[in-house]
Amino acid sequence: MTDLVSNGGRFAAITQRPPRPEAVVAAHTRRRYARERRFKLIGMGAVILAIGLLAILLATVLSSGAGAFRQSYAVLDVRLDPAKIDPSGNRDPEVLADADYQAVLNDALVSAFPDMDDRQGRRALRAMLSAGSAIQLRQMVLDDPALIGSTVPVRFLLDDERDQYLKGEVDPGIPEANRRLKDRDIALIDRLAEQGRIETGFNWTLFTNADSREPEQAGLRAALVGSFWMMLICFFLSVPVGVAAAVYLEEFAPKNRWIDLIEVNVNNLAAVPSIVFGLLGLAIFLNLFGVPRSASLAGGLTLALMTLPVIIVVTRAALRSIPPSIRAAALGIGASPLQVVFHHVLPLALPGILTGTIIGMARALGETAPLLMIGMVAFIANVPSGPLDPATALPVQVFLWSDSPERAFTERMAAAIIVLLGFLIAMNVIAVLLRKKFERTW
Amino acid sequence: MATAIKVDDLPKTEVQAAQRPAPKMSARKVNLWYGQKQALFDVDLDVAKNSVVALIGPSGCGKSTFLRCLNRMNDTIDGCRVEGDIRLDGRDIYDRSVDVVQLRRQVGMVFQKPNPFPKSIYENVAYGPRIHGLAANKAEFDEIVETSLKGAGLWNEVADRLSQPGNSLSGGQQQRLCIARAIAVAPDVILMDEPCSALDPIATAKIEELIDELRQHFTICIVTHNMQQAARVSQKTAFFHLGKLIEFGDTDQIFTNPKQQMTQDYITGRFG
């Protein structure tokens, strides 16, 4: 009883406090709501800002890169004169290969523009087509010698500056001296268009060719193949090693100072600037192991080094998110620690691991700096046929093209960015889908 | 004060234990440390075959810790050290020759919170037999799953949806699924760590009935906070306080005529 009385006394200070005036409470409530509204507005503002910046980025890239997916061609009737290509008439491939196709091409050009048959005129006509046009003719004849003697319509790549003019990128209004494309060239292109000899189509060259000095012939093939090999090597090296390391550290390793030290270092490694990994790759893979310079193998190994700590950190986080009750349940029924990991913990952590892996791979795909250190910044004009061939990567190709003054290269750079972003978005979508598919609750 | 009481009392319980047939599990002088902190002090306790032993005591008294010594679940805790002698059928379970995986097959466990695997009901029950190689083909697995679910009193409720996930069941059903999972590997002893604390009274009643039936075939050691439950389901009750076994005896005697003042105080709700 005394307890109760004393309790009453203790609570008296609380229960007998005078009520706060209605107005004070209302003002307090109003302030609280206002604060909440302000916070919501700030949050919305932040989201809108982020989306806006993203929209600006995408709009800029898309508007400047979209043009690169279209390419103008000139269609000329080419008479494959046997006298010029194969005077002896015995279709000897060596003779066919050595023939003067530039002369054949010149004839075709002049026959389309008979009034230009002088030295300067011919030069202007030649400049209209891509520098590789004669080689294109040669290849065509070598592929099918039966064409010799006939007149065939052939689609030639238009020179990049003329292509830009047709896309409306060259303003004829600016003084001729400030233009690469002179009035005479513009007039020629306009005449070609009037004759109906200009065709516009999808720019397959962008995906079938490697880099070139001629913008209209430059493509992403070497970069795509290089990036593909690098991703493959990076994935098959960093994922098994990273997941195994994470599983060991998280599930098996004793908790002592050494493991703590390793943990700190792994976390630090994940934050090391990527160019440092490039230097490491240069020192280890190129100088020590003698991996060929600028080969996809060297790039893949270096990117794997860079991705490894990310995968370890992500996998550990995914493993840690699995409730201990699942481990206890499996252990309690007599599963060995290895069975606990492989039957229960790892499958449940898989969505998290996959998401982290794909995001790590996406980061590796977009990485440029370490690749510069191992020579992948080279001009690669041949499509690599394997991981040991010199190659380049998509972001490096972007970097290379961004250096070029030609308008067509600027356009292609933006196109390369679009392709790169396309892959990154695809990878992230896959990450989301995988997460949705495998996600389980408990 | 607690130690003074215990020193007088323990020899008596030991003598009583020695007079009965060999116990299924016996613990002698069990001491346990979590790092530097000692959590169990010289615990002596016998679990007779086909009986239910209830471990009661206030929170943090070491009853769950002791329970987890019986199937070496404490091995998984870093810095945990066990001394003393714990025997299953007379064999030291902390002996080097004992495979902890086999031990846990013989001494199964049901946890406080129902923790079915996020797999189908069928898979939950079949998992144990599968990893221990107890069935050779689908028919044998089917048979084990059916008998285990029947044993846990769950068969009638889930027979037509064995392929549904285990965590789609209600809490009480999940706990019975966990019991089915535990008995599927035909253990000798089942340890239950507050199996009803997350369940409503009806589900609790079902589990208690089930424990009574299970006792015919298994030996059960159950930790509970609910003294009525201890009184209802167990034949023997052990009262723990601050890591020490204060009193161990027949449940009727503990609840009607405890020898220790501290036990008396606890079961009458004076502290805890």
Residues B191-214 as b/e (b if ≥16 CB within 10 A, e otherwise) read bbbbbbebbeeebbebbbebbeeb
DSSP code string of A100-139: -HHHHHHHHHHHHSGGG-SHHHHHHHHHHB-TTHHHHHHH
DSSP code string of A390-433: B---HHHHHHHHHT---HHHHHHHHHHHHHHHHHHHHHHHHHHH
DSSP B272: -
Mean pLDDT of A43-59: 96
Q: Cβ of B48: how many Cβ atoms within 10 Å? A: 18
Residue position matching structure tokens 């390419």: A71
The answer to whether residue B55 is domain-embedded is yes
Kindly report the CATH number assigned to the domain that includes residue B76: 3.40.50.300
The answer to whether residue B12 is domain-embedded is yes
CB–CB contact B102 A334 (8 Å) = yes
- The residue of chain A with its CA nearest to that of B192 is A332
The answer to whether residue B137 is domain-embedded is no
Q: How many CB pairs under 8 A join A and B?
A: 70
Q: Least CB-CB distance to A333: which of B78, B108, B118?
A: B108
* Mutation target among A256, A321, A333, A440 for the B interface, most CBs of B within 10 A: A333
pLDDT in tens, A387-420: 999 999 999 999 999 988 888 899 999 999 999 9
The answer to whether residue B144 is domain-embedded is no
The answer to whether residue B224 is domain-embedded is yes
Q: Write out chain B residues lying below 8 Å of A339, CB-based.
A: 131
Per cent of chain A over pLDDT 70 is: 98
The whole-chain average pLDDT of chain A stands at: 89
Position with higher pLDDT, A255 vs B146: B146
Q: Give the Cα separation of A74 and A112 in Å (integer).
A: 11
Position with higher pLDDT, A422 vs A10: A422
Per cent of chain A over pLDDT 90 is: 48
Q: Which of A52-61, A253-262, A367-376 has the highest mean pLDDT?
A: A52-61
pLDDT of residue B8: 46
The answer to whether residue B238 is domain-embedded is yes
Mean pLDDT of A257-282: 91
Q: Least CB-CB distance to B118: which of A254, A333, A442?
A: A442
pLDDT of residue A123: 87
SS3 B44: strand
pLDDT in tens, B134-159: 988 999 999 999 999 999 989 999 99
B240 touches B60 (CB < 8 A)? no
pLDDT in tens, A300-358: 999 999 999 999 999 999 999 999 999 999 999 999 999 999 999 999 999 899 988 99
Instruction: Give me B67's structure tokens.
Output: 């329970």
Mean pLDDT of A117-125: 86
The answer to whether residue B21 is domain-embedded is yes
pLDDT band at A261 (very low <50, low <70, confident <90, very high): very high
Mean pLDDT of A138-146: 89
Nearest to B65 by CA among A74, A363, B75: B75
pLDDT of residue A405: 87
The answer to whether residue B179 is domain-embedded is no
pLDDT of residue B12: 53
DSSP code string of B167-211: GGS-HHHHHHHHHHHHHTT--SEEEEESTTTTS-HHHHHHHHHHH
Q: Least CB-CB distance to B117: which of A255, A329, A339?
A: A329
Q: Least CB-CB distance to B118: which of A254, A328, A440?
A: A440
Instruction: Give me A227's structure tokens.
Output: 């990036």
Q: What 3 state SS string does B100-164 have?
A: HHHHHHHEEEECCCCCCCCCEHHHHHHHHHHHHCCCCCHHHHHHHHHHHHHHCCCHHHHHHHCCC
Q: Cβ of A89: how many Cβ atoms within 10 Å? A: 11
Residues A108-140 as b/e (b if ≥16 CB within 10 A, e otherwise) read bbbebbeebeeeebeebbbbbbbbbbbebbbeb
Sites in chain B below the pLDDT cut of 70: 1-20, 272
Position with higher pLDDT, A86 vs A72: A72
pLDDT of residue A264: 92
pLDDT of residue A442: 56
pLDDT at position A256 over 70: yes
Using CA atoms, how far residue A371 sits from A257, A291, A296, B116, in Å, is 35, 14, 10, 48
CB–CB contact A328 B182 (8 Å) = no
pLDDT of residue A111: 87
pLDDT of residue A7: 55
* B6 vs A: CB within 8 A: no
Q: Write out chain B residues lying below 8 Å of A348, CB-based.
A: 118
Q: Least CB-CB distance to A332: which of B102, B108, B113?
A: B108
- B29: domain range? 2-115+187-267
Q: Give the Cα separation of B177 and B154 in Å (integer).
A: 7
Nearest to A381 by CA among A228, A158, A229, A221: A221
* B117 vs A: CB within 8 A: yes
Q: What 3 state SS string does A143-203 have?
A: HCHHHCCCEEEEEEEECHHHHHHHCCCCCCCCCHHHCCCCHHHHHHHHHHHHCCCEEEEEC
Mean pLDDT of A218-240: 94
pLDDT at position A53 over 80: yes
Q: Which of A138-142, A169-173, A334-338 has the weakest average pLDDT? A: A169-173
Quote the number of domains for chain B. 1
pLDDT of residue A113: 87
Q: Write out chain B residues lying below 8 Å of A343, CB-based.
A: 127, 131
